[in-house]
Amino acid sequence: MGSTQEEVEVSYDVSNEFFRLWLDERMNYTCGIFDGTDNLEEAQVKKLEWISNAAKVTPEKRVLDIGCGWGANIEYMVTTRGVKDATGITLSRAQAEEIGARKLPGVEAHVISYADFQPEQKFDAVTSICMMEHISTPEQARKGEHISLYRDYFKKVWEWTNPGAHFGLQTILRNRVPRNRTDLRDIGWVTYKIFPGGLSLRLEDVIMAVNPHWEVMEIRTRREDYGKTTGEWLRRLRLNEAAIREKWGDEVFTDYERYLDTCVRGFDKHYQSLAQYSLRRID
Ligand SMILES: C[S@@+](CC[C@H](N)C(=O)[O-])C[C@H]1O[C@@H](n2cnc3c(N)ncnc32)[C@H](O)[C@@H]1O
């Protein structure tokens, strides 16, 4: 189901030092919110704030972050929102090592798929920033299996939570198919080369799949913010071109340049967008 561990490692285990060169200082690998700022670091904090508000995170709540990346969101919740008990799950060993190295109090990070996760204790709040893109492969979606995979995911998260829980969610959206051959080819290339086994979602898929477990309280789309985020990643990648070519080889640089350039075009031309959701558990 969805991206396998080997496929996830293709996407996230190039090297932690490589991603550190062009992401923000906390290493968010997802869209920031550029309201009132052009600065990537500030935009990422605004995104983390939005997600914590959507999940109604407060210090006494036990919080789960699904697809926790290198720990940016967990670090924010612990250091800025006063959370004392946070668990992250990721399929990337390199990411879990980075979280361990941050030595955050009250934090556990596990290398496990959401599909196998069986927590001993329930959670009061859940966040997940752009993990759902790994739940269905393009092939599964073509066979019409994606909605039941997403529904099964939302059911699991419901089972892991206490009554009254809120869920702050973010997903990349695929909005329309490119009309020209270059864009079609590049988007296909990103899907299979950079994020094998992954597929961005359609907004209507999420709306169908949350039922009957979660009530949609709020949705906000942020297509232009993701265009700006990927544009800034591309600018920072290019600034580090010489070091990247020397340390990880020409192919890594040219692949990541092509991928980020394709993303900037994809958001600009409405092929893709981004959605943030506040969900409330139906009790
Ligand atoms: C695009 S990254 C986002 C990371 C982080 N949330 C952020 O905002 O930077 C997607 C994350 O989902 C994780 N992931 C992918 N498939 C997963 C699965 N089946 N179970 C748990 N995590 C998964 C990856 O390991 C990665 O940490």
> With contact defined as beta carbons under 8 Å apart, do 263 and 272 qualify?
yes
Q: Is 270 helix (H, G, I), strand (E, B) or coil?
A: coil
Closest residue to atom 11 of ligand 1, CA basis:
67
Q: What's the total number of domains in the chain?
A: 1
* DSSP codes, 154-188: HHHHHHTEEEEEEEEEEEEEE----SSHHHHHHHH
pLDDT for 178: 93
pLDDT for 14: 83
- Domain span holding position 270: 5-281
pLDDT for 2: 86
Burial pattern 72-99, b for ≥16 Cβ within 10 A else e, equals bbbbbbbeebebebbbbbbbbebbbebb
Burial pattern 6-24, b for ≥16 Cβ within 10 A else e, equals ebbbebbbbebebbeebbb
pTM of the predicted model as reported, rounded to 2 decimal places = 0.97
**Which ligand 1 atom sits closest to the C-alpha of 113?**
20
DSSP assigned state of 61: S
d(CA 155, CA 162): 13
- From first to last of its 283 residues, the chain has per-residue pLDDT tens of 788 988 888 888 888 999 999 999 999 999 999 999 999 999 999 999 999 999 999 999 999 999 999 999 999 999 999 999 999 999 999 999 999 999 999 999 999 999 999 999 999 999 999 999 999 999 999 999 999 999 999 999 999 999 999 999 999 999 999 989 999 999 999 999 999 999 999 999 999 999 999 999 999 999 999 999 999 999 999 999 999 999 999 999 999 999 999 999 999 999 999 999 999 999 9
Residue 69 Cα, ligand 1 centroid: separation in angstroms? 5
Using a 6 Å CB cutoff, which residues line ligand 1?
Answer: 2-3, 8, 12, 28-30, 66-69, 72-73, 89-92, 95, 113-115, 129-131, 134
pLDDT for 113: 97
- Per DSSP bridges, beta strands 272-281 and 214-221 are antiparallel
Residue 195 Cα, ligand 1 centroid: separation in angstroms? 11
What are the beta bridge partners of residue 277? Answer: 169, 219
d(CA 38, CA 40): 6
Closest residue to atom 14 of ligand 1, CA basis:
67
Backbone angles phi, psi at 216, to 5 degrees: -80, 115
CATH number at residue 170: 3.40.50.150
Which of 92, 134, 191 for a ligand 1 pocket mutation test, highest count of atoms within 8 Å of Cβ?
Answer: 134
**Which ligand 1 atom sits closest to the C-alpha of 30?**
8
> With contact defined as beta carbons under 8 Å apart, do 61 and 67 qualify?
no
